[in-house]
Every structure is written in structure tokens, then in C-alpha cells.
Amino acid sequence: MADTARRGALAGRRPSSALLGVVPFFVYVTVFLLVPTLVVVVGAFIATGPGGQGGLSLANVRALAEPAVTSALWHSLILSAVTAVAGAVIGAFLAYAVSTARPDGVLRRFTTSLCGVLAQFGGVALAFAFLATFGATGYLTKLLASTGLDDTGGLWLYEWNKGLMLVYLYFQIPLMLIVFLPAVEGLRPQWREAAETLGGSTWLYWRKVAAPILFPSFVGALLLLFTNAFSAYATAAALVSQGSPLLPLAIGGTLNSEVILGQENVGKAMALLMVVVVAAVMTLYAAIDRRASRWLAR
Amino acid sequence: MSGIRATRRRRQSVLRWVVVTLCMLFFAAPLAGMLDFTTKDAQGNRTGATWAKLVDVQGVSRDYPDLAAGFTASVGLAVLTVVVMLVLLVPTMTWVRLRLPGLSRTVEFLCLLPLTVPAIVLVVGLTPVYSWVTYFLGESTIWLGFAYVILVLPYAYRSLDVGLRAIDVKTLSEAGRSLGAGWGTVMVRVVLPNLRTAVLSAAFLAVALTLGEFTIANLFSRTNLQVAMFFLGKSDAQVSVAVGLASLVFAFLVLFALSFVGGRSPSRKETS
């Protein structure tokens, strides 16, 4: 009561001084986040002619229908979906396995710390690690060649639907562990005991109790993994040196020297396309996350 | 009943070791590849020459000036990012909690917005902004930190939010204020120490992200650690891979050590 009265008095007396406190944050976010976003959104609809003059137009958006862009988008979607599903399934198993260990045991700490690092390990070093392992002179390539299993010399590593998928899994599985472990830890032993007391088997417990509780978290984590793979640039850029098989690489290409005159803003249209895809997935994620967190309140 | 439970526990521990071992093998394979690659000479014999080169700090800055410059730039970027992130977020989030609760959803939305704007998209939009930054502040790599703060925003917001939820900011700040402290003193000497764990994990995330950032630096043609490693990989791959492995091991050790610090504080709270 007194609290609301005081807040009302404060708001009535000096609203401007309270608002002053958040001005730096809003200015910063406007300059470095909102303005760039607007540049992309507006730029996508402005055509630059050969002379540099601009005007509202759908030319850039229409350019998205070109086969180079659609195939890049398609590859990105497939790569993200496959690595998200595979990473989520494997990561979920790993998370469950780790959750059965002692909470402050070394195994748990070791695995979560390792996964915390590996989930952020995308980029140049990751590409090099796989080159040193599966590349032309990598030790596993030599091993496989000496046993006669693989004699392609590791060329598959550079293909988006083989090597890149394996490389992406290397940060997807750890990310899944980080995201999904709290949900698995939320499964209380009492629920299992209750199911057992009522005569349920392990299978019944997993099907009727654990799976429905974990499902929203699982789908949410899956979506997070999808956006993670979809927006990744560094790893692919460091591994793929020719062509732009993925959408982020295609956008990066428009920023480099390869720009055709009058096409500068096609990159912005592609960037907008990316934001639309990611925003749609994240909206779905937010809705699912709200539902999933119902069981996680402790 | 206890028999069933013992069987289950045994089965769980078998499953645990099988799954963890398989995943660890997958995680270890490329790391072993890096180690193998950096300890081989041209004839394929084992040698520690690459690592010896890396330990010799003066030698590195003499023979690989780009790598040294990239490393210095990345350390500077990490410091700038952490400082700007904390100065921006901690007071704002505390202030919104205390005085402007109506704005909390807006702040949350803005902080989580970068999740939907991938770094590569941010680069496209930041080009005009950075031409102004270059105009006012010069072309130093360190100003990329402003963009990195945006990349860290969602993760930092989440961990600080968890920290703020756990303490009673209102009572703490009112106690401080009624004892005669100004808002600055309250922030630095009351709120910040109570958020220690949250600030630490937010700072760690910021450092990890900054040291691993490649996209923005590469596309703006600035040299940070990752960009230097990328170009060094084309001329002297062994040193480059060694730097990658060393930074990974270092990050893991920091996180592993932090997991013991973070795990101890709740139990300390319980006993006190």
C-alpha cells in the first residue's frame, strides 16, 4: 500500500529524473542495434541504380528468387535442421546420462565446463581442428585410408552436406547439453517413485510422465539449435573457401569485393530474409519456452 | 523395491558411461588432431618445436607481428566489452527494477532482440554506423567492442537477471540510501558485490564471445585474434592451430575452475 503510494508520488513528482537513468542504455541500443536493424530493413527495399540514385523498389526482394540465393537458403535450412535434430537427440541422451551422475561430482563439472567451451568453439579454430583430423593430411584420414575404408583423401569435409554437418554437430551437441540439462534435472525422483508405487514400468514412466514433461523443453532447445546453426558464419567461412553454399556466406560475399554494381542492397534483402526466418523460429521458441518453464519452477 | 532401484542405478551408470564415453570420443577426436598436427615436423617425427615457439613471447611478437597484434587487440576488446556491458546493464537493470518497473518488458525485449539478429546481419546494418565511429574515434580495432556488447547483450541480460532475482534490490538500496549513500555508492558497493556470481558469469560469457569473434572483425577487415589465426593458418598453420588449441584449453580451465566457485556459494548461503 505504502509502496504503491510512494511509487505514484515519485512518478508524479519527478518522472524525468527517473527516466534519465535509463537514457544511456536506450541511446546505446538505438545506435548499435536498432539503427543497424533499420538499415537492413529499409535498405532491402531501396534499389541502387548504376548511378547510385536510390528509390523504393522490390528489385532486391525479387533478386532473392535467383537460383543462387534460393539454393543457399535451401542448403542453410537443411544443414540447420539436420544438425539441430541430430544434435538435439544426441545432446539429450548426453544430458540425461550426465544428470544421473552426482550433482557436484567431477564428471558433471567436467562435462558441463567442456560443453560450455565447445558450444562457443565455432569459427576458425574449429575448422582447423577438423582439417587436422579429417583433412587431406589429417590423422584419421590416414588411418581410414590405411584400412581402406575411405580413399577420397578427406575431400568430403568441404561439402556442406557432409563435412559441414559433422563440424556443426561439434558445437550443436554441447549447446544441447547446456540448454537441456536444467530440464532433465527438473525431473523429480518422486515422480518416478510415484509411477513405480502405482505399478508402472520404466517404459510407462518415460512414455506417460517424463516424455510429456520434457517434450516442450526438447522442442524449445531444438529450435534454439536451429537458429544457432542457421546464423553461424565463422566456421563455414573458415572451412569453405570457394563459392557460397550457405546463406550467411552469400551475405558475407556481398560485403566483400564480389559485389556487382547496383546489387549492394541485395545483401540487405538476404539479411532481412535471415532475420525473418530466425525471428519466426524464435517467436515459436518463446511460446514453447513459456510452457516448458511451468515444470521448471523450483 | 530396493532391489529394483539398485538394478536401475546399475543400469543407469552403465548407460551413463557408454553415452559419456562415446560423446567424449567425438569431442576428443578433433582436439587430438590439433595436438597431433602441432607436434609433427616435416618428416612426420614428433617435435615440440611449435609449442616452444609459442611459449617464447618475444619470439612470437617478432616473428608473428599480426598474431601478437591480434591477441593484444582481442584482450583490449574483451576488457572494453566487459566494462561497457557492465556499466550499461547493471545500473539500467537495477534502476528499472527500482523506479521504472513499467519499462522492464521493453528492456528485456531489447536485450533479447540480438538473438534474432545474427552477427552476419548486424555487420550489414552496422556498416554505416561504423563509418561514423571511424570518423569520430579513428580506425582502431578496439571500437568493435561496441558491436560485441550487442552480441553479448542477451546472455549477459539473462545471467544478470537471475542474479537480480535472487536478491532484494529494493531493500538493499533503500538501506544504503537511508544510511546516506548516493546512487553511485549503492551501485558499486551494495548492488555489485551482491551480484558477484552473476557478474562473473556474464563477464566470462563476454570474454569467451569476444575472444572467439570472427565474423564482424573479418568483414570489417580488422585484425583480432581469430582473424590473425585465420590468415596465419594459410602461411604457418602449425602455430595457428597451436594458438587455437591453447585458447580452448585455457577457456576450459577457467570455466572448470569457475564451476567450483559457483557451486560453493549456494551452500555457503545455506549454512550462514
Kindly report, residue by residue over B90-106, the tens digit of the pLDDT. Answer: 989 988 888 888 888 88
- Please report whether residue B14 resides in a domain: no
Task: Identify which of B126, B251, B259 has the shortest CB distance to residue A109.
Answer: B259
- In chain B, the number of structural domains is 1
Q: Could you give the dihedral angle defined by the CA atoms of residues A84, A89, A95 and A97, in that order, rounded to the nearest 10 degrees?
A: -160
Q: What is the domain extent for residue B161?
A: 68-262
> Which own/partner pairs from A139-142 qualify as long-range (CB within 8 Å, at least 24 positions apart)?
A139/B32, A139/B33, A139/B36, A139/B37, A140/B29, A140/B33
Are B230 and A238 an interchain contact pair (Cβ–Cβ within 8 Å)? yes
Do residues B227 and A123 lie in contact, with contact meaning Cβ atoms separated by under 8 Å? no
Is the separation of the CB atoms in B205 and B86 below 8 Å? no
- At residue A47, the 3 state secondary structure works out as strand
Tell me the per-residue pLDDT of B104-134, one tens digit each, with 9 for 90 and over: 888 988 998 888 888 888 888 888 888 888 8
Higher pLDDT, B2 or B30: B30
Q: Is residue B56 part of a domain?
A: no
B88 assigned to some structural domain: yes
Say yes or no: domain A67-295 is CATH 1.20.140.10: no
CB contact under 8 A, A35 and B91: no
In a domain, B248, yes or no: yes
Q: Is residue B250 part of a domain?
A: yes
A298 pLDDT more than 50? no
Query: Tell me, what's the pLDDT at B84?
Result: 94
More confident residue, A173 or A153: A173
Higher pLDDT, B76 or B269: B76
Residue A261 pLDDT: 53
Give the confidence band of A288 by pLDDT, cuts at 50, 70, 90.
confident
B56 three-state secondary structure: coil
Q: Please answer whether residues B77 and B145 qualify as being in contact, where contact means their C-beta atoms are separated by less than 8 angstroms.
A: yes
Each residue of A181-215: b (16+ CB within 10 Å) or e?
bebbebbeeeebeebbeeebeeeebeeebbeebbe
What CATH number is associated with residue B160?
A: 1.10.3720.10
- Domain definitions of chain A by residue range: 67-295
Is A251 an 8 Å CB contact of chain B? Answer: yes
pLDDT digits (tens, 9 = 90+) for A7-40: 444 444 455 677 888 888 999 999 899 999 888 8
Residue B34 resides in a domain? no
Q: What is the pLDDT of residues A208-256, one digit of tens each?
A: 888 888 888 888 889 989 998 998 888 888 888 777 788 888 888 887 7
B206: in domain: yes
Closest-CA distance, B58 to chain A, in angstroms, reads: 23
Q: Which residues of A touch B229 (CB under 8 A)?
A: 124-125, 128
pLDDT at A297: 53
Instruction: Report which of A178, A78, A166 is spatially closest to residue A120, judged by C-alpha positions.
Output: A178
Residue B114: its pLDDT value, please?
87
The pLDDT score that the predictor gives to residue B248 is 86
Say if B154 falls within a structural domain.
yes
- What the block records as the C-alpha cell of B218 is 573479418
Q: How confident is the model at residue B270 (pLDDT cuts 50, 70, 90)?
A: very low
What cell numbers appear for A207 in the block?
Answer: 512414455
What DSSP element (H or E) covers A169?
Answer: helix A163-185
Residues B66-90, mean pLDDT to the nearest whole number: 90
